[in-house]
Amino acid sequence: MLPHPSANTAPITYRSYRLHLGFLGLFILGWTLILGISTTRADTNSSGLPPIDARAYILMNAQTGAIIAAKNAYQPYAIASITKLMTLYLLFKDIHTGGLHLHQEFVPCQAALETGGSSMFMHPGLRFSVAQMILGMTVPSGNDAAVEAAHLVAGSVPAFVREMNQTARKIGMLSTTYYDPDGLPHPNNTASPYDIAILTRRIMTDFPQYMHFFNHENFTYAGITSPNPNLLVGRVPFITGMKSGYTDAAGHCLVATGTQNGVQLIAVILGVPSFTDENRGFWKASWQSLKLLDWGFARTLWLPAVPHLEKTSAP
């Protein structure tokens, strides 16, 4: 999760972020050109999975649920703000059933205002719409937005967390436990890459009408513009979302989704080694996700089946 900058320092942080994004764009362009050449030639030697520098990951076909690549995919790990995917799933359900509406406006509750960490910068008495609250979670990963959503949907954080855990069991997330709606550090807030892929797939299939919320490069609220730590959004044409997360315990985490030629893939990467410079950490998480998705699309769409080459190079 991003630190909680003050309004006075936000513009400097944003310019620094844009510098990192420019470098990422150059790398992405080079990688895309290389991939285009290699996949056009359909060289089977290029189908070996490249090294992915992360504690655990999974690559899943969103339409079939087939697992294309995995490492430590069934072990639970700290997931930081990836937690918000369940918060958003329950919020989407509530909107779908008519409990809330995207254009409804509220003022933040006291619990949201008192929540620390990453923020969409809610202020006392400053109104926000449900749509803005959603973007406040998907882009700057606002913990205040997640706590506000919990209160609007369930009346309190404890009631909402119970619903999060009940829903997790119902949809088959058997290695997941939730303690809060925002992902602030707690030893009981863990999930496996496989479980996160299951949840991501449910969001994509149950609520495709809300997927556009995950594909915004930045979000402006209260006069502050926050960039999306998922640096692939808006820069790689086939990327459709989805959610970033960071704590010291979790490392840098990213769920990235993409679509090419009608094929939808989900990449979940947990525990990318952290850096003192948090922007650099998200750059690396985005880069690892891009490598995994690129390999997955090449393997799924263009290259012949070579099962022994699909194994990861890492144990």
Residue list for the binding site for substrate: 243
- Please indicate whether residue 81 is annotated as part of the active site: yes
CB 235 within 8 A of CB 21: yes
Q: Which residues pair with 58 in a beta bridge?
A: 70, 268
CB 138 within 8 A of CB 234: no
| Residue of 46, 47, 81, 118 with catalytic role | 81
- Please indicate whether residue 84 is annotated as part of the active site: yes
| Residue of 118, 141, 175, 244 with catalytic role | 141
Q: Please give the Cα distance from 97 to 153 (Å, whole number).
A: 11
Q: Is the dihedral of CA 71, 74, 75, 81 positive or negative?
A: positive
Q: Which residues pair with 78 in a beta bridge?
A: 190
Q: Please give the Cα distance from 60 to 35 (Å, whole number).
A: 20
Task: Give the residue carrying structure tokens 């844009």.
Answer: 18
| Residue of 71, 84, 284, 291 with catalytic role | 84
- Please indicate whether residue 170 is annotated as part of the active site: no
For residue 101, what are the CA distances in angstroms to 111, 269, 301, 307? 22, 32, 39, 47
Dihedrals phi, psi of 90, to nearest 5 degrees = -70, -35
Q: List binding-site positions.
A: 243
Structure tokens given for 233:
């959004």
Q: What interhelical angle do 143-154 and 130-138 show, nearest 10?
A: 140
Per DSSP, helices labelled H in 233-277 are none
Task: Read off the DSSP letter of residue 44.
Answer: G
CB 49 within 8 A of CB 150: no
Q: Please give the Cα distance from 238 to 235 (Å, whole number).
A: 9
The number of beta carbons lying within 10 Å of the beta carbon of residue 293 is 22
- The residues that are catalytic are 81, 84, 141
